[in-house]
Copies of this chain bind each other. A is one copy, B any other.
Amino acid sequence: MKFKFENTTRIHFGQGQIKKISRDIPQDHKVLMIYGGGSIKNNGVYDQMIEALKDYQWGEFSGIEPNPQYDTLMKAVERIKAEGFDFLLAVGGGSVIDGTKFISAASRYKQGDPWDILDAQSKVEDAIPLGCVLTLPAAGSESNSGAVISRGTSKLVFRSPLVQPKFAILDPVVTLSLSERQTANGIADAFVHVIEQYLTYPVNAKVQDRFAEGLLMTLIEEGLNVKEAPEDIKVRANIMWAATLALNGLIGAGVPEDWSTHLIGHELTALYGIDHARSLTIILPAVMKQRRKEKRAKLLQYAERVFDITEENEEQRIDEAIERTVKFFRELALPTSLGDVNLGAEVVEPVLANLKKHDRVDMGEHGDINLDECRLILQAAV
């Protein structure tokens, strides 16, 4: 086991933490607050932000869409260059934070066209410091260094330690205003993040496994609780903290990973506009079925430790673990097949063409999920 682990984001967790912003942004900075469609004006967050920023020079940029669009983000870059903002404050969910990370890097990119950061994986040499106020627990972007950006039917990833948020405010009260759909999507996104760093093959990384299983059990338990008691702040808090820890580098340290569900899902979102989390709950069961042999030992461990399945027959144990995963998603009213979102076998070839275009041809923990394997996964998802 070999890894580097570092996570420098300062987390302020709990009710009333938004006012702490002024402790973490030097007073002489000119702050650009970046947000999405304006829901923060209805849930009280915007007013808290104005109060927290009252001693700063600041401006705002709104309209970051789900699956943040390159063209939108470049408008923010122009504005920053024109007005000299030198601290960015993302207020929103993963899309706003991801978008802000790209804005941060693109604003100081001097090697040419900022599109290269995504398309050519050109190294980020400088970036505007950023912090965030999380409103939707899901992506984990608030304490990692990655971002997913869309342009047309391309959905691309970049990473740089320079865009790791300096701080993240996690106030679970903010999440009380989320719709049932947003809440369920967030839980599923976090759940699949954990699975993709866990459901591979055993390397005897006992701590990482126990932590991953702990997050999965928490997300399942609180995912069902939040349906019954959406106002329960302790349930909201557990979901929020679990989603952050699902993708902050900790459970993935030193273990194999399989991001094929996300990468295939990205193409479903790019081509058919399926919510990100829903693309995952459609693809994951198919990956589990199609990769049953390669993931056998970990599927058995998942069955036993996460669902307490003790059937004598190992095949039945795996069957039941997959069924319980599907059942969990369905209890959250999430789709688990292409049919559930009115798509079918007609998507297989276009998705494969996009995967090929984006060079997603050697995915998975063994690097052997090629286009033929993806075809079988997609067919299993019909």
Contacts and interface: CB of A to CB of B under 8 A. Distances in A.
Given A207-B214, A217-B210, A13 B241 contact: no
Task: Give the oligomeric copy count.
Answer: 2
A221 B204 CA distance: 12
A245 B207 contact: yes
A4 interface: yes
A38 interface: no
A13 B253 contact: yes
A22 interface: no
Contacts of A54: none
A172 B14 CA distance: 36
Interface residues of A, number: 38
B234 A221 contact: no
A2 interface: yes
A206 interface: yes
Contacts of A218: 206-207, 210
Interface in A332-352: none
A121 interface: no
Contacts of A62: none
B11 A238 contact: no
A222 interface: yes
Contact of A8 (B3, B8, B14, B211): B8
B242 A207 contact: yes
Contact of A204 (B12, B238, B242): B238
Contact of A11 (B5, B12, B14, B15): B5
Interface string A289-331: 0000000000000000000000000000000000000000000
Nearest to A171: B2
Contacts of A13: 1-5, 253-254
A237 interface: yes
A6 interface: yes
Given A10-B4, A13-B2, A214 B210 contact: yes
A39 interface: no
Interface in A203-239: 204-207, 210-211, 213-215, 217-218, 221-222, 234, 237-238
Given A1-B13, A6-B8, A206-B218, 5 more contacts: A1-B172, A4-B11, A5-B10, A206-B238, A214-B214
Q: Closest 9 CB pairs between A and B?
A: A210-B214, A2-B14, A6-B10, A5-B11, A206-B218, A204-B234, A206-B238, A1-B237, A207-B241
22 contacts: A2-B13, A2-B14, A2-B17, A4-B13, A5-B13, A6-B8, A6-B9, A6-B10, A7-B7, A13-B254, A14-B254, A204-B234, A204-B238, A205-B238, A206-B217, A206-B221, A207-B238, A207-B241, A210-B211, A210-B213, A210-B218, A211-B214
